Each structure stands twice: as structure tokens, then as C-alpha cells.
């Protein structure tokens, strides 16, 4: 939908690819800083007297703030272009880290989360890649952002753990602020003002805060149904993701550097899946088949009782999560006009934020009352139900086509 109807010149194609590669680099850097703070915040929170419940409240606040900011940010990106959107992301990250570095009270730890309202690097990156890639190659191009995510996860987790151990949490936070300032320079230097074709740009006179303009995307065929699938099937994984820091700290008794190594292992698995597996799968199989596969695999994955079992379990878990996110995002961006891809990806980000909002409350309740295995059982039952529903829907469609 963003590919130009007339044949692209070699120079134009080369420029598009250059912008996409620079976008991959910026994404990897920003994810690095994000995971750097994941290695800092839980331990700083513990020093400031936070227990599991209050850390859950802190995570919930991030979910609520990003839930509100996601669609607005996506609309902002559509109206004002890629450069402005990414500049907003990097500036917010700098403020976020500076507030974290100065957080000496529990209240300040909550205040430092406020800039996360605009810290949507993945939706902004996805918009650029969506705008500049051909529709048939979009899933593969988007999956490469997951490769950047894996690189950032490894670098950020390892770096955060080591910096916190050697120089303390506040130095690590300042390092993150400096890193994001470098990302901001890359944005100004290499990212074009807009990545959308002339004929598909949004009308700048329209409001960023127009609820009607955001919600009208739900009226396009298949969008609402895909969103429901994304929320219901994604909820168990969302619960696990927000609870991982607590599980690592409280159940597995990991130290900051050990937690960093485990996150780096996750990153390696994600890099292999996103960089070497998803592209091949999307070239060979339909999006509906891959959606069914990801949910089926997810239903068979549960949490383990020790770190070794957990490291084995994480391989199918990361596979299902990666395929599920790439396929649902691809399906949704193909369902709307190219002028609205940023808003749609902002809504997709809000789904993740919604899961992070309700996840800590549900996850904390399950963990405290029923133990770590309950989180795995919830994932199993929810995804089996969704798998049966999708299989039934596919069977009904086949029958209709035969008739």
C-alpha cells in the first residue's frame, strides 16, 4: 500500500533501504536503553522499600500511561511524520532516565515513569518500515525489528547489570540518558521528515487527539476481530512479561548480573527466531496459518520450577510470541489505508499497554495465592480455547467457499 504505483528508480529503492537500515540501528539502540533500565529499576525499587505489591503498582502505572499515549502517539506520527515522532521518543527517554537518576524517594520513582507516555519506539519504527516496505515483504521487514529487539535485549541487559554492579544504579541511568541523546542525533541526521507517499499523507489540520479519527479504524473489515484475538491470546504472555522481574528476583533469587545474563539469553533466542525463522515462514505459509501455529505452540508452553527448565521452555515461548506479534501487526496494517498505519500501530502498542496494565494485578494475585505454575496454566487454557475458536472459524470459512 505504500509502494509507489510507478516503477521505483534504483536510487529511490536504495534510499528507502538505507532509511530502513538506519531505522533498525536506532531501534536496537533504543531497546538497549530500555533493557538497561529493566536491570536498574527493580533493584532501585527494592532499595527504596518497594515490595512485590508496590512494584506491581509501578508497572501498572506504566501500562496505564502508555495505554493512553499509544493511539495519540500513532496519530501524531501520521500527521507530523517519522522524524518528529522519533525525536519525541528519544527526548522522552532522555527525561525518563534523568528522572530515574535523581529518584531518591518512592514518589520520584513513580514520577520518572510519566515520560513513558511518548516512549513508543517500536510503533514509530514499525510505521517507518511499514511505509517503506512492499506489502508482500512487510511481515519479513517487521520481523527484522524483532531482531533489533533481541540485540537490544542482550546489550541492554548485560550492560545494565554490569554498570549497576560496578558503578551503581544512578550511573547506569545517566548512561541511558546519554545513549538516547546519541539516538536523537541519528534521527535528526538520517530520518526523513516523512516516510509516507505524497498522496497518502494525513491532513495536518486534523487533531492529534481526535478520538473519532482513531476509533474509525476499527470499522475496517477484520480489524475488530483481529484486535480481540490480539488481546485475549496475548493476555497470558503479558502477565508473564510484567511478572518476570519479580519471578527472577523473588523465585529464582537472581542477582542483577545473573538477571542480565538470562535476559541476554532471551535476546539470542529472539534474534534467531526473528532474523532467521519468521521471514522464511511468512514466505511459505499464509498469515492465518501462522497465527494458528503461534497460538497452538503457546498453549503447550508453561512456566518451569527451576532456571534450567525455564531456559528450555523459553524457546517455544519466544517463538510463539514473536510470530503472534508480527503476524497480527502485519494483518492490521494491511487492513487500513497507508495514511493511517501509524495510528493503527499506536493502537497495537496500546494492546500491549493494556496487557501490562491488568497483568501486574492478575499476575501478582496468581503468584501470591497459587504460585508460579498458575501463570503457566492460565496460558495453556486461554490459548487452547483461542486455538479451537480459530480452527472452527477456519473450518466454517472453508465450508462457505465450497458452497
Q: Which residue segments constitute the domains of the chain, with CATH numbers given? A: 11-195+216-402 (1.20.1250.20)
CA angle 32, 298, 391 (to 5 degrees): 135
Flag whether pLDDT at 21 surpasses 50: yes
Q: What is the mean pLDDT of residues 138-162?
A: 84
C-alpha cell read off for 291: 497465527
Residue 235 has a pLDDT of 83
Residue 6 has a pLDDT of 47
Query: pTM of this prediction?
Result: 0.76
Among residues 98, 110, 115, which one has the least CA distance to residue 59? 110
Task: Match 521452555 to its residue by C-alpha cell.
Answer: 313
Q: Predicted confidence band at 8 (pLDDT cuts at 50, 70, 90)? A: low
Flag whether pLDDT at 219 surpasses 50: yes
357 versus 293: the higher-pLDDT residue is 293
Computed over every residue of the chain, the mean pLDDT equals 82
Q: What is the mean pLDDT of residues 307-330?
A: 84
Helix segments in 39-81, DSSP class H: 41-47, 52-80
Q: What is the mean pLDDT of residues 336-345?
A: 84
Q: Burial level of 53, CB count in 10 A (0-12/13-18/19+)?
A: exposed
3-class DSSP assignment, residue 376: helix
C-alpha cell read off for 135: 506489502
Report whether 69 contacts 9 (CB < 8 A).
no
Q: Predicted confidence band at 30 (pLDDT cuts at 50, 70, 90)? A: very high
Among residues 101, 91, 90, which one has the least CA distance to residue 41? 101
Q: Considering only 2-11, 135-144, 159-168, which range has the smallest mean pLDDT?
A: 2-11
Amino acid at each position: 500500500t505504500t509502494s509507489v504505483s510507478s516503477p521505483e528508480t534504483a536510487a529511490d529503492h536504495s534510499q528507502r533501504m538505507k532509511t530502513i537500515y538506519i531505522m533498525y540501528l536506532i531501534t536496537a539502540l533504543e531497546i538497549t536503553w530500555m533493557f538497561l533500565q529493566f536491570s536498574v529499576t527493580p533493584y532501585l525499587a527494592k532499595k527504596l522499600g518497594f515490595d512485590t505489591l508496590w512494584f506491581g503498582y509501578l508497572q501498572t502505572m506504566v501500562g496505564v500511561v502508555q495505554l493512553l499515549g499509544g493511539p495519540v502517539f500513532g496519530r501524531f506520527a501520521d500527521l507530523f511524520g517519522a522524524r518528529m515522532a522519533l525525536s519525541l521518543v528519544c527526548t522522552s527517554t532522555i527525561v525518563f532516565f534523568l528522572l530515574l537518576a535523581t529518584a531518591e524517594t518512592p514518589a520520584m520513582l513513580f514520577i520518572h515513569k510519566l515520560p513513558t507516555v511518548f516512549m513508543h519506539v517500536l510503533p514509530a519504527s514499525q510505521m517507518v518500515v511499514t511505509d517503506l516496505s512492499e506489502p508482500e515483504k512487510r511481515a519479513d521487514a517487521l520481523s527484522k525489528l524483532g531482531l533489533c529487539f533481541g540485540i537490544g535485549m542482550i546489550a541492554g541487559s548485560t550492560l545494565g547489570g554490569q554498570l549497576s554492579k560496578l558503578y551503581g544504579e544512578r550511573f547506569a541511568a545517566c548512561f541511558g540518558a546519554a545513549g538516547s541523546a546519541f539516538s536523537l542525533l541519528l534521527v535528526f541526521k538520517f530520518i526523513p521528515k516523512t516516510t509516507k507517499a505524497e498522496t497518502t499523507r494525513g491532513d495536518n489540520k486534523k487533531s492529534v487527539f481526535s478520538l473519532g479519527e482513531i476509533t474509525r479504524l476499527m470499522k475496517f473489515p477484520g480489524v475488530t476481530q483481529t484486535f480481540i484475538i490480539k488481546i485475549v491470546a496475548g493476555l497470558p504472555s503479558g502477565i508473564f512479561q510484567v511478572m518476570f522481574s519479580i519471578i527472577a528476583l523473588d523465585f529464582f533469587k537472581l542477582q542483577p548480573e545473573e538477571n542480565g545474563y538470562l535476559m541476554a539469553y532471551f535476546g539470542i533466542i529472539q534474534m534467531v527466531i526473528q532474523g532467521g525463522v519468521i521471514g522464511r515462514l511468512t514466505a511459505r505459509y499464509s498469515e492465518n496459518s501462522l497465527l494458528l501455529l503461534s497460538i497452538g505452540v503457546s498453549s503447550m508452553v508453561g512456566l518451569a520450577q527451576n532456571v534450567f527448565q525455564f531456559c528450555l521452555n523459553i524457546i517455544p515461548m519466544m517463538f510463539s510470541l514473536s510470530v503472534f506479534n508480527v503476524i497480527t501487526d502485519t494483518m492490521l496494517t494491511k487492513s487500513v489505508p497507508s495514511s493511517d498505519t501509524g495510528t493503527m500501530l499506536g493502537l497495537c502498542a496500546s494492546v500491549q499497554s493494556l496487557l501490562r496494565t491488568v497483568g501486574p494485578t492478575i499476575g501478582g494475585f496468581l503468584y501470591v495465592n497459587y504460585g508460579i505454575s498458575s501463570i503457566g496454566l492460565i496460558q495453556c487454557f486461554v490459548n487452547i480455547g483461542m486455538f479451537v475458536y480459530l480452527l472452527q472459524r477456519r473450518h466454517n470459512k472453508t465450508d462457505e467457499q465450497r458452497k
